[in-house]
C-alpha cells in the first residue's frame, strides 16, 4: 500500500509536507481503511488502528462510498475485472474527479485512461 510509504518513509517527508501545506491535494477512499486492516492488521491490529488515526488526523481528505461510487465500482468490476475493493477505491477517486490513483497494483493499468495509476516515486518527482 503506497499510502504507508507516505506515512512511514522519511524519503517522502517533502511530499507529506506539501500535502499538509495544501500544495498537493490528497484524498483517500474510506474503503482503503479496510485494506489497511487487511494488510497491516494481519501483523498488528494496533498498528492498523494507529495508521488510520494518523490518516484521519492528517490533511488527507477521505471520501465516503455512496450509491454513485457503488455503481461506478460495479462498472469497473464488470468491464475491467478489477477486484471489488480496488474497484470501490478507484470509483471513489473517479467520482471525486481525481486524476491519479496512488498504487503499485498492476490491475489498475486497465483503467489508466479513466484514472491514471501513479506511484510514490512518480509523485515525489512531481513535487519539488
Q: Which tens digit of pLDDT belongs to each residue from 52-88?
A: 999 998 889 989 999 999 999 999 999 999 999 999 9
Q: Which contacts of 98-104 are long-range, i.e. CB under 8 A and separated by 24 or more positions?
A: 98/27, 102/2, 102/3, 103/2, 104/2
| Dihedral sign, Cα of residue 34, residue 37, residue 105, residue 117 | positive
Q: What is the pLDDT of residue 65?
A: 95
Query: What are residue 63's DSSP bridge partners?
Result: 29
Q: What is the pTM of this model?
A: 0.88
Percent of the chain with pLDDT over 70: 99
Tell me the pLDDT band of 9, cut-offs 50, 70 and 90: confident
Query: What are residue 100's DSSP bridge partners?
Result: 116
Question: 47-51, 95-99, 119-123: which range is least confident on average?
Answer: 119-123
Query: 117: helix, coil or strand?
Result: strand
Tell me the pLDDT band of 1, cut-offs 50, 70 and 90: confident
Q: What is the pLDDT of residue 59?
A: 86
CATH T-level fold of 2-122: Rossmann fold (3.40.50)
* Residue 102 pLDDT exceeds 70: yes
Q: What is the pLDDT of residue 28?
A: 94
Q: What is the pLDDT of residue 128?
A: 67
Q: What is the pLDDT of residue 113?
A: 97
**Helix, strand, coil percentages for the chain (3-state, nearest 5):** 60, 10, 30
Mean predicted confidence (pLDDT) in 90-107: 95
Amino acid at each position: 500500500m503506497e499510502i504507508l510509504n507516505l506515512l512511514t518513509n522519511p524519503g517522502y517527508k517533502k511530499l507529506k509536507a506539501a500535502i499538509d501545506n495544501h500544495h498537493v491535494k490528497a484524498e483517500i477512499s474510506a474503503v482503503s481503511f479496510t485494506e489497511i486492516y487487511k494488510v497491516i492488521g494481519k501483523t498488528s491490529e494496533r498498528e492498523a488502528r494507529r495508521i488510520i488515526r494518523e490518516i484521519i488526523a492528517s490533511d488527507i481528505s477521505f471520501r465516503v462510498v455512496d450509491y454513485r461510487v457503488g455503481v461506478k465500482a460495479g462498472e469497473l468490476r464488470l468491464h475491467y475485472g478489477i477486484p471489488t475493493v480496488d474497484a470501490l477505491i478507484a470509483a471513489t477517486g473517479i467520482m471525486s474527479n481525481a486524476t491519479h490513483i496512488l498504487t503499485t497494483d498492476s490491475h489498475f493499468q486497465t483503467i489508466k485512461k479513466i484514472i491514471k495509476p501513479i506511484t510514490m516515486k512518480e509523485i515525489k518527482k512531481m513535487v519539488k
